[in-house]
Every structure is written in structure tokens, then in C-alpha cells.
Amino acid sequence: YRGARTHFLCCQGQLLRAPERAAATSLAADKAFSESRLSVARLMLPSVAYEDDDLLIINKPAGIGFHDEEDGTKGILSVIRTMQAQGLFHYTGRLHGVHRLDKVTSGCLILAKTPSAAGEAISALRDKRVAKYYVALSDKKPSKKQGTVSGDMERTRRSAWRLTNTRVSPAVTRFIQQTFTTSMEEGTREEQQLRMFVMRPLSGKTHQLRVALRALAAPILGDVLYYPGGIAKKMDRTYLHAAALRVPMGDSLVQVVVPPWETEGKLFSSPEFRTCFSSLFPDKLHLNTDTWFATERGTLFSDPAQLLYKKNTLRDGAGE
């Protein structure tokens, strides 16, 4: 299982392919296209982070949902189909959804090129053999430094959810955090301490990560649904990003890391955040086919690749 697949890295809107493939191709050059023809909320277009014969993993911008909306706003698959029709997306075949990201969340989204590949990836997700790592920012101190957030989720008002004390079918999230200091507003030298949370969900519930940080009293910056008060509306985005994936396919392991500054957001683009992110997601992490985060917080967040090939080994609550 240590055989690595070809990696495609997204850098400043360009698709950088392996040397034996075609030269770098820009997918984000026509920003005006997304506003005038695609009718999406953001100017950024999805770009390819990884591709092989089975999978195509994109870097989804924040502001694009998974499904088409009643007001005519296109979901991510419709956006890609329109790009294909206009010659703005190099892969022209049909793509199949494997999982979803919230509209406010940017980052790694798995798409499959064939129904059989989609079935294999979905099966790996169902068996908890796909490792997904998210990064979020908060300006609040959490109720605990690191560990596992676990509990059932129930719907509240305004399409929001909350975590309960029961554990019948719990949402389970492992997390660690790291602090950095940066300026929150342009044109000011006043700096503020922020927290970068790295989270790995062990279940797949709606709004799970957003609810988990709200339950820790550290809601995500820019999240108007779960951050009380007016500061969320002043932010330029919800600061939640799907930063990395490890997906077992056959006898190999697909690994992708997409830094948040490849999307948008002033705080994600700050030098201080880049340094903080790179301390946990080094440049060649995607080439490490053994254990990720081996030195971080003991065994809490260490993820050996071997576990991804064993069905049902990553059970809810693992890592506590």
C-alpha cells in the first residue's frame, strides 16, 4: 500500500502537473466568467488539486454549494459542467460526487470519474477508512485544549444544529490547536491572538465541525450561523477549509494537501497563518505514506496509513 499515486498540486490558481504530463494550465484566469455566466456567489472557480484514472479531487471555493439552489445559483457539479462546456476545465468526462462540503467551506472535494470508482471511494468513507483534515480559525479560547468532541446532534432554529449530551449516534471529532498572532483589520498595527484548529471528523454529520467548535465555546470566525454577535458578518468568509485527504483506492493511497491560501480569505493569506499552517502541514506531507502528525500531541492525532486499509478500525471515539 505504499505505492504513491501521481500528485497534482494547486499553486496560485494553476494546475501543476507531473513532468510527464502537459505543462501547467491556469483554471482561474477568467474570474469574470464565474460572475457573468456561472452566477455563483464567488469570483473564484474550482481548480484541480489531484487527478488519476479514478479520482479527480478539486479545491472547492467557499460560496459554492454542492446542489443547485432554487434561486438559480449553481452547485459545484453544475459549475464544473459549465466550465467544461466553455473549455475552462481540462477534464471533459462526467464526474460523480463522493461526499459533500458545506457551502461556506473551501478545500478538498472528492469526485470520481466512473461509477465503480465512486462506489469504492464511498465504501471507504462509509467504513471510516478515509482520513479528512480540516483547518478552522477562531478568536475564542476553547473550553479544552485538545481531544475529542462527541455527542448527538439535534436541529435548532434557523437551520442550525447543536450538540447534546447523549451518544446514540454521535458526531465525533478529534482536534488539536495552535495559536498565532496577526492583524485582524487592514491598515492597523493592532494584533490579536487567533487559534488554528486542525480537526479530523470520525463521523459525517451535517455542520459537524462548526457545531463542535461552537460547543467548545470557540466558534469559527465568519460563521454567521454559529458565531453569536455581529463580528461574523464583518468577516470576508467563514474560516473553515478542508485542507487534506488520505483515501485508500485499491492497493495504493491517494494523499492531497491544499493550503487554505489557495482559496481566499485575508486571515488565511497572512504570513503568520502560513507559518502556523506549515508547522503542521509541511511541504512534503502528501508524500508521506506512513504516519501523519506523528509528533503532534502524542498519539491523539497520529494517523498511521495502515489503519486506512482495515475496515471499521477507526470507530467513533477513537483517539481519546
Residues recognised as catalytic: 102
Q: How many CB atoms lie within 10 A of CB 60?
A: 30
The whole-angstrom separation of Cα 222 and Cα 105 is 11
DSSP H helices, the chain, are: 31-33, 76-85, 115-126, 208-215, 231-234, 266-269, 271-280
The whole-angstrom separation of Cα 99 and Cα 108 is 10
- Residue 278's SS3 state is helix
Residues 6+ apart with CB under 8 A from 211: 153, 161, 162, 163, 171, 205, 226
The whole-angstrom separation of Cα 268 and Cα 283 is 17
Task: Kindly state the helix (H) or strand (E) to which residue 297 belongs, with its residue range.
Answer: none
Q: Are 236 and 186 in contact (CB under 8 A)?
A: no
Nine-digit cell at 9?
498540486
